[in-house]
Amino acid sequence: MSTVSAPSTGVGPEDIFKMASGFWVSKALFSALELGLFETLSNQPQTAEALAAALRLPVASVDRLVSVLRGLGLVRAESNRLSNTPGTEAFLVRRSPTFIGGIFHHFNDDLYPLWQHLPDALRSGRTMWKQAFGPDASDNPFETMYADPARLEGFLRTMAALAAPAEHDFCQHFDFSGHACVMDVGAALGTLVVKVLSSHAHLRGITFDLPPVAPLTQAFVQQAGLADRAQIASGDMFVDPLPRGADLITLSFIVHDWDDDHCVQLLSRCFEALERNGEIAILEKVLHEDRGGPLPTALMSLNMLIATGGKERTETEYAALLGRAGFIETRVLPLPGPRDVVIARKP
Ligand SMILES: C[S@@+](CC[C@H](N)C(=O)[O-])C[C@H]1O[C@@H](n2cnc3c(N)ncnc32)[C@H](O)[C@@H]1O
């Protein structure tokens, strides 16, 4: 197996040190968000002293943290006043519609302790919830997150912001002309259906996700003015009947959450629900056939091992799963952004 995306010039001690201390960056970012630093700077540019007073922290501590945040491009200093950079304002301030910090609880409180057990996960090939959190811990991350309404909403908002570029690419590059009804399974807030329906007036849509998600999806779809063209359905996609009538089913960042047997079960249920000649479109970043990258996808695959029992896959692996569920003609539509589309047809 080749190594993942090693720089062609080779790796020196400084590169290795940077890799080894990567968690310093995550922890600085999580701490700044938790302490309310970005919120405070968003309200008004401040001197370090005023920021320290607002956060009730020693100035010396704020100085250290701000140095890091400036180095990361998250905060800037002009005429002795600190302010957020535009990216921070868009993605790290809670009132912004594109805030992505809602998932940091999950990263810091769930994933960080889980990653402590990576060697055991690699040995056993299993998730590490019980090792990290004790024998009573659920090994279903959605159950854990959705038990708290604030974490549920934070997760869904983050997913919405992270999915936006891929959904935009999908709307631009996928051929919807032969379709009448798209059903997004694991739809979260319903952003994919909203974008597809907004850009393709001839389509109807259906969203399907777990019951706690439905009221938020309902509100989002209503706000987009699409309530008359979109049906909001809910249930467990492995147990409950999937709505009928779709001739295109999408699964975006769903398949990588599950092991092969769960995927075949889910794809078979989609196969049953789909109209004859209908298509399935799986939005995931596809691993290179030799598994040599892309690096973010390879890292995500490790995360899936620890957190969900899923994995990232190559085109050949997607074709095998889809074939087991009855689909034919698997092909990949590569997209410029963070997800590709794996397409197959129900004969
Ligand atoms: C990683 S998120 C992806 C969300 C969205 N499709 C996107 O691209 O951002 C996985 C989604 O699957 C949903 N999900 C997880 N288990 C499910 C189940 N058993 N039945 C239905 N939906 C489920 C979650 O609620 C969540 O919205």
Indicate if ligand 1 lies below 6 Å from the C-beta of 143: no
Indicate if ligand 1 lies below 6 Å from the C-beta of 209: yes
Indicate if ligand 1 lies below 6 Å from the C-beta of 254: yes
Task: Take residue 111 and report the two structure tokens written for it.
Answer: 């994933």
Instruction: Confirm whether 154 is domain-assigned.
Output: no
- Whichever domain contains 40, its CATH number is 1.10.10.10
Query: Which of 301, 251, 308 is CA-nearest to residue 280?
Result: 251
Looking at the chain, the number of H-run helices and the number of E-run strands are 17, 9
Packing angle between helix 315-324 and helix 260-273, nearest 10 degrees?
Answer: 60
The pLDDT score that the predictor gives to residue 85 is: 98
Indicate if ligand 1 lies below 6 Å from the C-beta of 142: yes
Spacing, Cα 243 to ligand 1 middle (Å): 16
The pLDDT score that the predictor gives to residue 1 is: 39
Domain that holds residue 91: 13-99
pTM of the model: 0.92
Instruction: Confirm whether 313 is domain-assigned.
Output: yes
Indicate if ligand 1 lies below 6 Å from the C-beta of 188: yes
Indicate if ligand 1 lies below 6 Å from the C-beta of 263: no
Nearest ligand 1 atom to the CA of 236 is: 20
* H-only helix segments in the chain: 13-20, 22-35, 37-43, 48-55, 59-71, 86-91, 104-105, 112-115, 118-124, 129-133, 141-146, 149-173, 191-199, 214-223, 260-273, 295-307, 315-324
The pLDDT score that the predictor gives to residue 141 is: 82
Q: What are phi and psi of 310, to 5 degrees?
A: -90, -170
Same domain, 241 and 321: yes
Packing angle between helix 191-199 and helix 149-173, nearest 10 degrees?
Answer: 30
Spacing, Cα 334 to ligand 1 middle (Å): 22
Same domain, 299 and 189: yes
* Protein residue with its CA nearest to atom 12 in ligand 1: 186
The pLDDT score that the predictor gives to residue 2 is: 42
* Protein residue with its CA nearest to atom 27 in ligand 1: 188
The pLDDT score that the predictor gives to residue 139 is: 83
Same domain, 85 and 181: no
Q: Sign of the CA dihedral 67, 72, 77, 78? A: positive
Instruction: Confirm whether 338 is domain-assigned.
Output: yes
Instruction: Confirm whether 65 is domain-assigned.
Output: yes
The pLDDT score that the predictor gives to residue 163 is: 93
Task: Rounding to the nearest 10 degrees, give the CA dihedral for residues 129, 135, 139, 141.
Answer: -70
Please, what are the averages of pLDDT over each run of 10 residues along the chain (347 residues)?
Answer: 56 95 98 97 95 98 98 96 97 93 90 96 95 90 87 90 93 96 98 97 98 97 97 98 97 97 98 98 97 95 95 98 98 94 98
Indicate if ligand 1 lies below 6 Å from the C-beta of 211: no
Instruction: Confirm whether 270 is domain-assigned.
Output: yes
Dist. CA 190–CA 160, nearest whole Å: 8
Spacing, Cα 142 to ligand 1 middle (Å): 8
Same domain, 190 and 297: yes
Same domain, 320 and 234: yes
**70 CB-near residues (< 8 Å, 6+ apart):** 76, 77
Indicate if ligand 1 lies below 6 Å from the C-beta of 167: no
Indicate if ligand 1 lies below 6 Å from the C-beta of 103: no
Q: What are phi and psi of 86, to 5 degrees?
A: -60, -40
Indicate if ligand 1 lies below 6 Å from the C-beta of 278: no
* Protein residue with its CA nearest to atom 19 in ligand 1: 236
Instruction: Confirm whether 115 is domain-assigned.
Output: no
Nearest ligand 1 atom to the CA of 339 is: 8
- Whichever domain contains 316, its CATH number is 3.40.50.150
> What size, in residues, is the chain?
347
Where is the domain boundary, 99, 132, 153?
A: 99
Spacing, Cα 235 to ligand 1 middle (Å): 11
Same domain, 183 and 300: yes
Spacing, Cα 188 to ligand 1 middle (Å): 6
The pLDDT score that the predictor gives to residue 7 is: 55
Indicate if ligand 1 lies below 6 Å from the C-beta of 233: no
